[in-house]
Amino acid sequence: MVLERAEAEKIVKENVNGQFLFNHMLATEAIMRGCAKFLGEDEDKWALCGLLHDIDFEKTKDDPIKHGVLGVEILKEKDVPEEILTAILAHNYMNPDAPARTTKMDHMLVAADAMTGLVVACAMVKEKKIENVSEKTIKKAFKKKGFAAGSKREMIMECETAGIPYEKLVEISLEAMKGISEELGL
């Protein structure tokens, strides 16, 4: 039996205190679901990966190499598919021992993770409303090196390795995040 969405959210809330981080995880979940749908993959599994990916972030922020490693320890007894655990480990580019990203899910988690920051940053300069953000806004912001610098462009571009053109990822991401704008407070 695979971990149910409600139980996954409960586990996240037990491990994540910050609302900003929780919202980031919700946004990543939504983008991952949209990407899975586009690619014909298991939407629930991909969404679960997005929701859980930063479960240990607050606990590992002072030791970023452990990010993902602790997350997997928290999740391995929770009926989380191995494919998700591997993607969580592989998404930490700072850990030299992280497994290589080899699956579509691995690459899309990295891309979705980085894309959320870019979309949120665009919303912040558009009256803090995601409804004011267009695909053109995101594409223009992507080209500005200093804008949302934490959203690593090379990570976003891993979408293409997974089979989603960048232009399509922008569309999917914006639609996904607009779909949960109330939850995100945007």
pLDDT of the residue at 98: 93
Among 98, 115, 102, which Cα is nearest to 162's? 102
- Inside any domain, residue 43: yes
Structural domain range at position 11:
5-180
CATH number at residue 113: 1.10.3210
pLDDT of the residue at 150: 87
Residue 40, CA distances (Å) to 45, 86, 164 in order:
12, 20, 11
Domain count along the chain: 1
- Inside any domain, residue 128: yes
Residue 55 has pLDDT above 70, yes or no: yes
pLDDT of the residue at 1: 58
- Inside any domain, residue 137: yes
pTM above threshold 0.85: yes
The tens digit of pLDDT for each residue in 89-115 reads 999 988 999 999 999 999 999 999 999
- Inside any domain, residue 185: no
The tens digit of pLDDT for each residue in 110-148 reads 999 999 999 999 999 999 999 999 999 999 999 998 899
Number of other CB atoms surrounding residue 84 within 10 Å: 23
- Inside any domain, residue 48: yes
- Inside any domain, residue 186: no
The tens digit of pLDDT for each residue in 149-181 reads 889 999 999 999 999 999 999 999 999 999 999
- Inside any domain, residue 66: yes
The mean predicted confidence, pLDDT, of the chain is: 96
Residue 85 has pLDDT above 70, yes or no: yes
